[in-house]
Amino acid sequence: MGMNELIGISRLFGGDPEFVLGGGGNTSWKDATTLYIKASGAALGTIDESGFVALDLAAVRAVLQRDFPLDSAAREAQALSALLAARLPGQTMRPSVETILHALFPYVYIVHTHPALVNGLLCSVDGPGRAAELFGDRALWIPYTTPGYVLSRTLKDAFDRFAAAGRSVPQIVLLQNHGIFVAAETTAEIEKIYDSVFSTIRAAFGAAGGKAPDFSAVGAGAAADATGDEPEGRALAEAILRQAPGSSLRFVSNAATGVFLASPEAFVPLAGAFTPDHIVYSGAKPLSLSHEANRHAGDAPATRLGPAWKAFVKSEGFAPRIVAAEGLGIYAVGASAKMADLALALFLDAVKIAQYSSAFGGYRHMALSDVEFIKKWEVEQYRSSIASQ
C-alpha cells in the first residue's frame, strides 16, 4: 500500500508508449487526509517519490466550493493559487493540472492516461453510444470539457448525481477528445480494469473489420531521424530548415502514414486536433502539402513550402510543427531534438487515433472554439513560465 505501490503503477503505465507519451498522464494515491499526485512536468516512466506532490485532500476538494471569476484566465489563475495553497508545508512543486479530478474520485489509486486505442473511441462520431454499449454502467462518459477548473466542476456535478442516487461512482471515466481515468482501491485492480478496457475496445475494433495501424517502415529515409532520401524529400527538408533555421527535424514514412498521405481527401482525418495534448506538442493542425496544390502552383514541394509556410503562420498564429507532404512523408519540426521527437510522437498517435476511430463511425476532432481556447491557454502558460524564470 501507499507510495511504493504508486511508484510501481506509475512506472508500469508511464514506461509503455501505448499509454503515455511525453509528459502526459498522471497518477495519484490518497489516504484519509493526504493526496499524493504527480508533479506537473514529471515523467511517469522514471518517477520516484520526489516526483509527487503531497496536498491536503480536504483543501483540494474545497477549491470547488469557492466562487471564481467567469473570465477563464483569471479563474484558472485563482484556482491554481488555491491549489498551490493546499500543498502540505514544505512542498514546492506544482501539482498536475488534473489534481482536483484526482481528489474527487472516492478511490485510493487513480491512473489517468491518453492511450491511442481508447482515444480511437473517445475521438469518434459514435463514441458516446458505443461506449455505453461496450461498458454500460461501468464507465461514465464526459462530453468534451476544457481541462482545468471547468472539467473538475463538471466531474464533481456528475459524481454528486451518483451520490444523490445512492450509487457508487464508476471506476472508469471516459473524457471525450481527451483520455481515460481508472480508479480503484488497489493497483492490481487498476491493471485489471485497464486490461478489460483495452481488450473490449480491441475486440470491438476487430469486429468492425478494423486493421491495426502498420508502422513498419517503407521506402528509403524511413529512419526516425532521416530527412528523406529521395532528392525531392531532401529538398523539402532543406526548405523547411530555411523557414525554421536552427530547428531539429524528424522524418517518417511508413504504411500507416502512407494511407493518409495518399490524397487530400485521405488526409482530412489528420487535418484537425484530437485532444489538447496533440495541440500542445504537434500544433493545432499540420501544414499539409498536397500534389493538387503542387500541380496548381506548378512547383515541387520544396518550392511550394515557403509561401505555404507563411500563409500557415498568418492564418494559424504559430509555425508548423508538422509538415505532411503527400506521397513523401511526415516532417516534424522542433526547437530542440526533444521537441521534434515529441511533435512526431503525438502526430503518429493521431494517425493511430484516426485509424481506430474508423471502427466507431469515423473520427471526431475537437471543436474549433475548443482548439482556440487551448491555443490561447498555451500562450498564457508559456508567458507565465517565462515570467517565473
Residue ranges binding Zn ion (CB under 5 A): 179
Of the pair 173, 249, the CB lying nearest Zn ion is at 173
Of the pair 249, 279, the CB lying nearest Zn ion is at 279
Q: Is-contact 119 127, C-beta < 8 A?
A: no
User: Which cell numbers in the block locate residue 47?
Assistant: 518517477
**Shortest spacing between CB 159 and Zn ion, in angstroms:** 18
Of the pair 277, 341, the CB lying nearest Zn ion is at 277
**SS3 at position 145:** coil
Of the pair 179, 286, the CB lying nearest Zn ion is at 179
Q: Is-contact 247 238, C-beta < 8 A?
A: no
**Shortest spacing between CB 282 and Zn ion, in angstroms:** 16
Q: Estimate the share of the chain in helix, then strand, then coil, as percent rounded to the nearest 5.
A: 50, 15, 35
**Shortest spacing between CB 53 and Zn ion, in angstroms:** 17
**Shortest spacing between CB 59 and Zn ion, in angstroms:** 22
Of the pair 177, 243, the CB lying nearest Zn ion is at 177
Of the pair 179, 233, the CB lying nearest Zn ion is at 179
Q: What is the CA radius of gyration of the chain?
A: 21
CB atoms within 10 A of CB 185: 13
Of the pair 25, 272, the CB lying nearest Zn ion is at 25
Contacts of 248 (CB under 8 A, 6+ apart): 333, 334, 335, 336, 337, 339, 340
**Shortest spacing between CB 277 and Zn ion, in angstroms:** 7
Q: Is 182 exposed, middle or buried (0-12, 13-18, 19+ CB in 10 A)?
A: buried
CB atoms within 10 A of CB 63: 21
Q: Is-contact 374 368, C-beta < 8 A?
A: no
The string of DSSP letters for 13-76 reads: HHT-TTT--TT--EEEEE-SSEEEEEBTT--GGG--GGGEEEEEHHHHHHGGGS---SSHHHHH
**Shortest spacing between CB 85 and Zn ion, in angstroms:** 23
**Shortest spacing between CB 4 and Zn ion, in angstroms:** 24
